[in-house]
Chain A
Amino acid sequence: MAARVPTAMGEHGGTDQGLRIISILISGLLLYGGVGWVLDRWLQTSWWLPIGLIVGVIAGIYLVIMKFGRSE
């Protein structure tokens, strides 16, 4: 995170980071929820979608923490 110097970036950095965090969280949900949905359709089951959604949320939050949580 050394490249994202908060003082030099000002509020632009904040806008971009906020948008990125939201997009990561949403794409996590969509990606793994989508994988679960496809598995459900394919295997004729109904429990992959919730698992996929949960995995997606976890992956999204984890990624946000890894990318943005350590800048202090």
Chain B
Amino acid sequence: MLSLIPLLVPMEGGGGEEHSAWPPGVHSFASRPLWPGVLPDWVNNHALQAVIAAALVIGFWLWMARGQQVVPSKKQFLGEQLYNLLRNTIARDILGHDYRKFLPYLVALFSFIFVNNLFGQFFLFMFPTFSKIGYAYGLALLTFILYNAAGISKYGFGNYLKRMTLPAGVPWPLWFLIIPLEFISNFIARPITLALRLFANLFAGHLVIMVFVVGGGMLLESGVLFYMIAGGASIIFSFAIFALELLVGALQAYIFTVLTAQYVSSAIAEEH
């Protein structure tokens, strides 16, 4: 991804001011190393942002879990409501009776994606972490490992592979046709589409926001009255886009979690 950026944006020198370069494009998503020369280059602002999000999520749930009482305080009530929402609507509905094992991962996954998506509208960061595709691939890889490990530990490796690649009732002459297809759909298409769905939604949303805000700002500063009116309108409308992005961010966190639960459920399902 990063090596493509100079190809895609030949007019940019690739300097430090990439974020303000117009028009916004893939180059606007480039990361800046935090401390070049001292820390390795992969310690960049977006990695830091993901770590901050993880710390926030851990801190939030630890704080919510502290000092639990039989009669809940307001804080505990809030925490329990959030937890119950995830437990009842995602984990228990989809995974059935053995949902408890997977609940910590699902709650952590949802909170982490949600916080990272909120960063796209949060003034300190103004960048949704998962609009960098590497982060989305990382999460999809975790989910991939989880649902395969759950299936393998339940059925054993060979048996699990057979269940995942061969639906019941297929006559043997068609096996050579069906097995590669099922393999691709279960082990390759699923994690990749999971990652791409999250990435593409946030990437496109952030791009639209940049067009409205940065473009509006440039029009406002242009000094031509008509352009300045258009720029003001663009900035006002950007708040509607921000609201839409809040919705999209929450929805994508939810969908990612739901699909993770679905994949686990189909890997450990009793009978197809």
Please give the residue numbers on chain A whose beta carbons come within 8 Å of chain B beta carbons, in ascending order. 1-4, 8-10, 12-13, 15-16, 19-20, 23-24, 26-28, 31, 55, 59-60, 62-63, 66-67, 70
Contact = CB atoms under 8 A, between A and B. Distances in A.
A70 B269 CA distance: 17
Interface stretch (B36-44, B170-178, B213-221): B170-178
**Chain A: interface secondary structure?**
helix
Q: Which bucket holds chain B's interface residue count? A: 20 to 34
B185 interface: yes
A9 B270 CA distance: 15
A25 to B, nearest CB: 9
A3 B184 contact: no
B94 A12 contact: yes
Contact of A23 (B93, B185, B262): B185
Given A13-B262, A27-B189, A63-B182, 17 more contacts: A2-B270, A10-B93, A12-B258, A12-B261, A13-B94, A15-B259, A16-B262, A20-B185, A23-B185, A23-B193, A24-B185, A59-B177, A59-B178, A62-B174, A63-B178, A66-B170, A67-B167
A9 B96 CA distance: 9
B162 to A, nearest CB: 15
B271 interface: yes
B74 interface: no
Contact of B169 (A26, A27, A66): A66
A62 B193 contact: no
A3 B181 contact: no
The 6 closest A-B pairs by CB, nearest first: A3-B269, A16-B262, A23-B189, A59-B177, A27-B184, A66-B167
B190 interface: yes
